[in-house]
Amino acid sequence: MRTRAAVAIEAGNPLEVMEVNLEGPRPGEVLVEIKATGICHTDEFTLSGADPEGRFPAILGHEGAGVVVEVGEGVKSVRPGDHVIPLYTPECRECPSCLSRKTNLCTAIRDTQGQGLMPDGTTRFSTLDGDPILHYMGCSTFSNHTVLPEIAVAKVREDAPFDKICYIGCGVTTGIGAVINTAKVEIGAKAVVFGLGGIGLNVIQGLRLAGADMIIGVDVNPAKKAMAERFGMTHFINPKDCENVVQEIVEMTKTPFDRIGGADYSFDCTGNVKVMRDALECTHRGWGVSVIIGVAPAGAEISTRPFQLVTGRVWKGTAFGGARGRTDVPQIVDWYMDGKIEIDPMITHRLSLDEINKGFDLMHAGESIRSVVIY
């Protein structure tokens, strides 16, 4: 079939909206009509050329929602008409990782996914001239139609609006999951969130759900403060306005009983390795946990004095908030529909596919939280 897609021809250039060819689903695959997709900072990261796994030409996008149009041979868990959210972290429920119950990082198709290919090592997308176009993160939601492995779709309820629940395909689940699944934050905790964008705000709403007492937000863009307060941030720091952000946080978290100070939990939602170091070092001696969510460019490395870990701080990371997509995503959609979590105010811009590059411009300018493309 033919469909319309925004194609990343090469790193560093705007996407090009064009008609592309899409082959139908092979055994174990599903064809999905994408109804809406968010633009995540990770799409920008790959388009910029900073992603060591970035391959071009490719159809980016990994934060979508849509409807199953056709299923390949052997597909049993979904059928045409089902509403689904594509999963860049699939859940096969059979691989050693899924069966371990220790991780959400299903390994069933990770190798081919990282190469921009379907599990059988081929691509379903091509130009009208027949040149191959690669998939991205196993999703390619910047295409009106896409083909996904069955294990990479979560079936969700049909009354949930696509233009909101697409965000559960990455940002919402990542932020809330980092708090609930990865850090396992407890009631009364003191937490710090570095980077108050599309992920950081969801960490904040996760912290509010978990019952954190103190939620300190840190961002170089003061325009992010108001929205973060709306979601539960209790204190704000602009690192540009203070000499030493770590010391500032340590002071803020001291009490008359505890003169050591430091956050119980911190989260990096910037992808900046210097920020990741601050995030670790502002946590409490003996028990502080710092979770890396941000994705850093090729070649970047983290560092700290080993003494920071010797004295009990723990450095962790999380992908997709530790969520098992087919199991957890439908539940998060329910949370949204039941009013337990909010999504609508974070979707600051709605665009057509032809306007998709504007979404990247708004992100660069720090003017958006989430731009959503509606097909």
**Token representation of residue 307:** 């003494």
Give the separation between CA 122 and CA 112, rounded to whole angstroms: 9
Helix (H) or strand (E) holding 347: strand 347-351
From the list 3, 37, 42, 141, which residue makes contact with Zn ion (rule: CB under 5 A)?
42
Which residue from 203, 64, 187, 184 is spatially nearest to 136, judged by alpha carbons? Answer: 64
Closest alpha carbon to 237 in 257, 266, 264: 266
- Please enumerate in sequence order all residues whose Cβ is within 8 A of that of 347, keeping only pairs 6 or more positions apart, or say none: 38, 163, 164, 167, 369, 370, 371, 372
Of 17-25, 50-58, 192-200, 255-263, the window that binds ligand NAD (rule: CB under 6 A) is 192-200
Q: Per rule CB under 5 A, is residue 170 in the interface with Zn ion?
A: yes
Q: Taking CB under 6 A as the criterion, which residues in 134-173 touch ligand AHE?
A: 170
106 is an active site residue? yes
CA angle 372–269–293, rounded 5-degree value: 100
Q: Which is nearer to ligand NAD, 25 or 322 (CB)?
A: 322
Give the dihedral of Cα atoms 294, 104, 173, 38; nearest 10 deg: 70
Site membership for ligand NAD, residue 366 (CB under 6 A): yes
Three-class SS state of 87: coil
Of 29, 63, 91, 248, which residue is the catalytic one? 63
Task: Indicate if 364 belongs to the active site.
Answer: no
Among 16, 19, 53, 258, binds ligand AHE (CB under 6 A): 53
Is residue 89 a contact point for ligand AHE (CB under 6 A)? yes
Site for ligand AHE, residues 245 to 274, rule: CB under 6 A: none
Establish if 105 lies at the interface with ligand NAD (CB under 6 A).
Answer: no
Give the Cα separation of 282 and 271 in Å (integer).
17
Q: Would you give the binding string for ligand NAD spanning residues 225-254, x where CB under 6 A is met?
A: --------------x---------------
338, two tokens: 């039941």
Please give the Cα distance from 370 to 360 (Å, whole number): 10
Catalytic residue, chosen from 3, 83, 91, 106, is 106
Residue 42 engages ligand AHE in binding (rule: CB under 6 A): yes
Catalytic (active site) residue 139: no
Q: Is 320 in the site for ligand AHE (CB under 6 A)?
A: yes
Q: Give me 26's structure tokens.
A: 């092979």
For 353, the 3-state DSSP assignment is helix
95 is a catalytic site residue: yes
Catalytic positions, written as ranges: 40-42, 62-63, 92, 95, 98, 106, 110, 170, 370
**What is the contact surface with Zn ion in residues (CB under 5 A)?**
40, 42, 170
**What is the contact surface with ligand AHE in residues (CB under 6 A)?**
40, 42, 51-53, 89, 105, 110, 170, 295, 319-320
